[in-house]
Amino acid sequence: MKSVRLLLLALLAFSLTACDSTSNLGSEPQAFVYIENKGSDTMVNLALAWAEAYQNAHPEVRISVTGGGSGTGIAALLNGTVDIANASRKIKPEEVEQAQANGIEPVEFVVARDAIAIIVHPDNPVDRLTLQQISDIYSGKINNWSEVGGEDRPIVRLSRETNSGTHVYFLETVLRLGEKDNKTLFSMDTLLLPSSEGIINEVRQNPNAIGYDGLGYVPQDLKIIAVAKTESGRYVLPMISTVNDKTYPIARDLYVYTAGQPEGAIKDYLDWIHSSEAQEIVAELGFVPILVYNP
């Protein structure tokens, strides 16, 4: 009986295989081009939107998009494991040296611009700060909201983790006020969070918190702080117009990097990213397009 059962199972398996082979007769395998894209968490939603729109028009292309931070994306490019690295900061000189040691010449493309919004809980009465005050808050010189016109409450500082390009940009531009010789550091009690969403959620739950995030990530239920370059300067909210006219002081370029000059499908994709169609998506997601277009 056992041998009969084995024979029947073998015949059944052969029958299923034959049916499957028959069902595929006449069909030809689809050839896809795969592009690996990794890096900045600030840019991940934008990169996903770009990939979806591009794939709809080019079904022969498959684009894989993952985050992990600008440093992670650049490291993957240097190791030869991705085609495109997204970064919310410029590549560092030591990263260029490492790339060249690996036989890779990184090529930089500016693909959009972004404003870094300073955010607090909507119940916080503070609605404006200078760059110096923000620096003093994050470095630990100011520790209570009453010191900047708020209530007598301790300040809870929130930041992205150190592998984040946003963290690096904020350290250099805000804490250090863009001064190359300035060595100011984040206060030791600053909470380092792994994602933009983590900062949003923490500010939403904590009336004492202050955080920073790419403008495209900030929901309407949180308060955005107006920022002035100096105490006597104009307080400005982040938006497309104030980034373009350079009156909002915490704005930056967003980049992608490739290993050498892009060719083939990668070049076609980057050319499309610089098109008016792709730049409309930039504006729709709350970032700042690099091209002028008619919506």
Residue 137 CB coordination number (10 Å):
24
CATH fold of 114-251: D-Maltodextrin-Binding Protein; domain 2 (3.40.190)
With contact defined as beta carbons under 8 Å apart, do 69 and 41 qualify?
A: yes
With contact defined as beta carbons under 8 Å apart, do 60 and 43 qualify?
A: no
pLDDT at 29: 46
pLDDT 10s per residue in the chain (295 long)?
434 343 333 433 333 334 444 334 444 446 789 999 999 999 999 999 999 999 999 999 999 999 999 999 999 999 999 999 999 999 999 999 999 999 999 999 999 999 999 999 999 999 999 999 999 999 999 999 999 999 999 999 999 999 899 999 999 999 999 999 999 999 999 999 998 899 999 999 999 999 999 998 899 999 999 999 999 999 999 998 999 899 999 999 999 999 999 999 999 999 999 999 999 999 999 999 986 444 4
pLDDT (tens digit per residue) in 74-122: 999 999 999 999 999 999 999 999 999 999 999 999 999 999 999 999 9
Ranges for all domains in the chain classified under CATH 3.40.190.10: 33-113+253-284, 114-251
pLDDT at 163: 86
Residue 91 CB coordination number (10 Å):
20
pLDDT at 244: 87
- Domain range 33-113+253-284, its CATH number among 2.40.50.140, 3.40.190.10, 3.40.30.10, 3.10.180.10: 3.40.190.10
pLDDT at 291: 66
pTM higher than 0.85:
no
